[in-house]
Amino acid sequence: MSVVLLALDTCTARASIALRDRTTLRAEMTWEAQRHETAAIAARIRDLMRACRIAPEDIGCVAVAIGPGSFTGVRCGLAIGKGIAVARNLPMIGVTAFDVIAHAQPRQPAPMLALLEIGRNRVAACPYEWHEGAPSVAGEWQIHSWAELVERVEPPLYVCGDLPPAWIAALRAKVTVAPAALNLRRAGFLAELGMARWERGEVDDVMTLTAIYPPEA
């Protein structure tokens, strides 16, 4: 049985891919993509698999971050993931980019807000609370301008995710901000979430799995 899960996140300017088997995160690569090009990302997947000596037939499941994020980025990752899953008849799992950020954070006593840059000086924000040791979505995600978000946040609050340098100081003056290493959205955490769902048999329909796109401004 093929037991390696491929995780792929291209929702924003940072792209990330990972390979995980039942017990180990085999490899992970995260980089500033800026422009998402299917051929370039597919080449990085091949390079990572070769470095780990993982053959295509070893891949048993594909997990993809389904947004929200940039239209091009989200569409690119979902298209690559679906292409692999359909070609090899593999199960597929869609995870929100918010969940990828939230599950990378250590447990917090305060409520948490996961942030994603979505372009045009806008940010998507999703609230989380901690239940039984894991973050859980605590409300609907919303879109704000960065200035509006900084004005609205109030302590106690822990903020994590895509944080432009120009707004970090303003946020830190009001609430707790995650350190830089924890703000980097990594496919290794997407792989963790995907593997847990795969083992429980909670997979998505490849044909009907859709992306989450923010509304146009």
pLDDT of residue 38: 82
Q: Please tell me whether residue 174 adopts helix, strand or coil conformation.
A: coil
pLDDT at 215: 82
Q: Is the pLDDT of residue 87 over 50?
A: yes
Q: Which long-range contacts (CB under 8 A, 24 or more apart) does 143-147 make?
A: 143/118, 143/214, 143/215, 145/121, 146/121, 146/122
Cα→Cα distances 3→47, 56, 131, 209, Å: 19, 11, 30, 22
Q: Among positive and negative, which fits the CA dihedral 158, 159, 165, 169?
A: negative
- Dump strand ranges (E) for the chain: 4-9, 14-20, 25-32, 59-65, 92-95, 112-119, 122-131, 134-137, 142-145, 158-161, 176-177
Compute the distance between CA of residue 22 and CA of residue 20 in angstroms, rounded to an integer: 7
The verdict on residue 37 lying in a domain is yes
Question: Do residues 44 and 109 share a domain?
Answer: no
Query: What's the CA gap between 139 and 117, in Å, rounded?
Result: 19
Does 1 score more than 80 pLDDT?
A: no
pLDDT at 133: 86
- The answer to whether residue 215 sits within a structural domain is no
User: What pLDDT, on the 0 to 100 scale, is given for residue 104?
Assistant: 97
Residues 35, 17, single domain; the answer is yes
pLDDT at 217: 47
> Is 86 found in the same domain as 112?
no
User: Domain range for residue 115?
Assistant: 105-183
Judgement on whether residues 169 and 70 belong to the same structural domain of the protein: no
The C-alpha atoms of residue 38 and residue 51 are separated, in whole angstroms, by: 20
Q: Which tens digits make up the pLDDT trace of 14-62?
A: 899 999 999 999 999 999 887 777 888 999 999 999 999 999 999 999 9
**39 and 72 share a domain?**
yes
Residue from 131, 102, 100, 96 nearest 114 by CA = 102
CATH number at residue 169: 3.30.420.40
The pLDDT, as a whole number, for residue 35 is 73
Q: Say yes or no: 178 and 194 in one domain.
A: no
- Does one domain contain both 134 and 70? no
In a domain, 214, yes or no: no
User: Alpha-carbon distance 117 to 30, whole Å?
Assistant: 17
50 and 13 in a common domain: yes
Mean pLDDT of 111-138: 94
In a domain, 205, yes or no: no
Residues 145 and 62 in one domain: no
Nearest one of 216, 213, 217, 215 to 71, comparing CA atoms: 213
Q: Are residues 88 and 143 in the same domain?
A: no
Are 137 and 98 a contacting pair, CB within 8 Å? yes
Residue 126 has pLDDT above 90, yes or no: yes
217 in a domain, yes or no? no
Q: Are residues 152 and 192 in the same domain?
A: no
Q: Do 15 and 46 lie in a common domain?
A: yes
Q: Is 71 a residue whose pLDDT tops 60? A: yes
What percentage of the chain has pLDDT greater than the value 70?
98
Mean per-residue pLDDT, 1-24? 93
Reported as a single tens digit per residue, the pLDDT across 174-193 is 999 999 999 999 999 999 99
